[in-house]
Amino acid sequence: MARYPKLFEAGRIGTMELKNRLVMAPMGSHAWDAEGNITDRMIDYYVERAKGGVGFIITCSSSILPESRADRVANYDDKFIPGLSRMARAIQEHGAKAAMQVVHHGRLLSYLRQQVLRPEEIDVVGASPVPNTSDGMAPREASQGDIAHIVQGYAEAARRIKDAGYDAVEIHGGHGYLITQFLSPLTNKRSDGYGGTVEKRARFACEVISAVRGKVGARFPVSFRLSGSDFLPAGITIEDTVRQAPMFVEARADALHISASARESTPWQFACYLFPDGLIVHLAEAIKKVVRVPVITVGKINDPGLAERILQEGKADFIAMGRALLADPYLPNKAREGQVDEIQRCIYCNNCLILEGKPPVDMPKGRRCTVNPSLCREKEFALKPTGKAKRVMVIGGGLAGMEAARTAAQRGHQVSLYEKDDDFGGQWKIASQQDSKEIYATLTASLQRGLDKAGVRVYLKTEVTPEFVVKESPDAVVVATGATPRRLDVPGADGKNVVQASDVIANKAAVGGSVVVVGGRAVGMETALALAKRGKKVSLVTMYRLGENGAQQGSEFQAGGGGHSRRMERNIFLRLRDELIEYGVRVYPDSPVREITENGVYVVSDRELMFLKADTVVLAVGACPQNRLAEELKGKVPELYAIGDCREPRDARAATSEGAEVGRQV
């Protein structure tokens, strides 16, 4: 605590006393049911974060009107109050204060309505009839009657939150939702009292805040979340927001929660590993200078030291963390107790944003995390001691093998881990060497510490054969032998000028001045960008659309499961795409390779053969599972499990998840 005195200092928002300055940002679990009801899984998710020591939890946003509901918690009828209340009490019982957001999605409902039951009931209304960039659909412009109805909807939803026993309410006025659509000159083309000037564009937000205040009373804390900037040309700027912020306070907001982005600029909201830490703190700092209420900052802050500096320098009053608390719900307690090295760091891979299932028919059961396999499965993933200790052999020291070994040993099994290389990590070790991915190495280090603490016997530089396994006679064998880079089945693919992206990343392969990178998903895009930054002339070719996986297997950011046209996480894709443009990388989608020669590549583009000159051709076309050992061990050991990429090349999230599941199953 002495190390972070400001972070663990008590704070106040309105009448609400908080035990520290750490806030859980409102990141939805996606664990509600198809009607938007609170589930036990949701409660478990928030309870774990409350136990972890955070002072204030702002839960996910909730739909305020039946005709504006989206894939969110439902809060448009009093019948939902008992469920909301159950979650509030569970959070409070473990020492944290609780708030819930209220939101109207506005024009975004044109495509979000497909995610809910009875989509025909949804009324798509916006500040102005400006089409969505996602689907080209324009909302109808909100009339004065619509505005009054929606403002009342916000107020009634806030009243339900108060009635449910929450400590505060937060109005969501950012991220491209309806209030943002009024605030932004890009989406507000009105000429009445709600548009035209910076002040008039803030009128709707002020009316919402005032109506909420009138409904919940003077002493119930009201926070207003907004985008300090949407980082779009001719959009919301911090200069505009600085002028509007005092108006929101005058409307009686008790705190301002400063985020960033609109729908078209969400990479700033879900900043991945490609962005610097604390990338939007400057927005909160600017607003704090013009208001006298607490200001909450957010955005890629997972280091208690950084959080402390922000507070000490007076840039904000509270620190909100989202994904950092998904990765490690006990981050606050660990920081307070001086156990910073024990924190499981969020690596900002954005795999938690890739949701499983398709609502409303197959609702996702919750988010998943590469670093924390128990996310949204807190109760079912609670470690239970084994009834009978087994001798368990884990073969492979990548993410899947390390997680399986650690988990099995923590349960009481006698575990031995064998790795043929001289270090842990496998393909993840290579990924950690990429530009901007240094933080990836923290996951390997965390898993290795877990092996040591759990008492796993480790054997490096040891290649395991079926004969060795039979001789050792373990009770259970977990094979996690990973995958190797895939090669192209075209003429010239074995040429001296052809190298694998993994070798380029690991500095094991020389690259000439002109390069063709084959493969348009994460590894291909990242490698092309890294080479372009080094001054190479780079072309990127892919047989699918940029960012898609098609029928190939084994990309780092694959969404999991089977099927075709799997895409990278959207925000990572957009950031990489923009940087490829900035550094002049020429991209050729839908252009399969036909032949590689000693001085270039023949591809088919628009049904025509095209030649691209290149000194070096870099392959980033996926991976092949290394499952031979698993096949050879069938029928030779009592229990056999194959996990991770040796089962099917996928992403790191699948590897750690399978390792955790098998470690609990064995």
Q: What Å distances lie between residue 254 and 184, 250, 543, CA to CA? A: 23, 10, 53
Give dist(CA 323, CA 24) in Å, integer: 9
Distance CA 286, CA 240 (A): 11
Give 611's strand partners.
602
Which H or E run contains 393?
Answer: strand 391-395
273 is catalytic: no
Judged by DSSP in three states, 476 sits in strand
Kindly report the backbone phi and psi dihedral angles of residue 256, in degrees, each rounded to the nearest multiple of 5, phi listed first: -120, 130
Give the start-end residues of each E strand in 148-263: 168-173, 222-227, 255-259
What value, to the nearest 5°, has the Cα angle with vertex 458 and ends 454 and 462?
160
The full length of the chain comes to 666
Among 45, 46, 154, 177, the active-site one is 177
- Tell me the backbone φ, ψ of residue 206, rounded to 5 degrees: -65, -35
- Give the Cα separation of 23 and 319 in Å (integer): 6
Asked if 36 and 69 touch (Cβ cutoff 8 Å), the reply is yes
Beta carbons within 10 angstroms of residue 79's beta carbon: 10
**Do the beta carbons of residue 124 and residue 131 sit within 8 Å?**
no
Kindly write down the DSSP assignment for every residue of 618-654, as one continuous string. EE---EEE--HHHHHTTTTSSSEEE-GGGTS---HHH
The sign of the torsion formed by the CA atoms of 72, 78, 83, 86 equals positive
The answer to whether the beta carbons of residues 607 and 629 sit under 8 Å apart is no
CB count, 10 Å around CB of 607? 6
* CA-CA-CA-CA torsion sign (363, 366, 367, 369): negative
The number of beta carbons lying within 10 Å of the beta carbon of residue 272 is 22
Query: Which DSSP category does 595 fall into?
Result: E
Q: The tokens 């590993």 sit on which residue?
A: 273
Residue 327, helix vs strand vs coil: helix
- The DSSP call for residue 101 is E
Integer CA distances (angstroms), 169 to 60, 114, 253, 467, in order = 11, 28, 10, 63
Give alpha helix (H) positions in 370-465: 399-410, 427-431, 441-454
Catalytic residues: 177
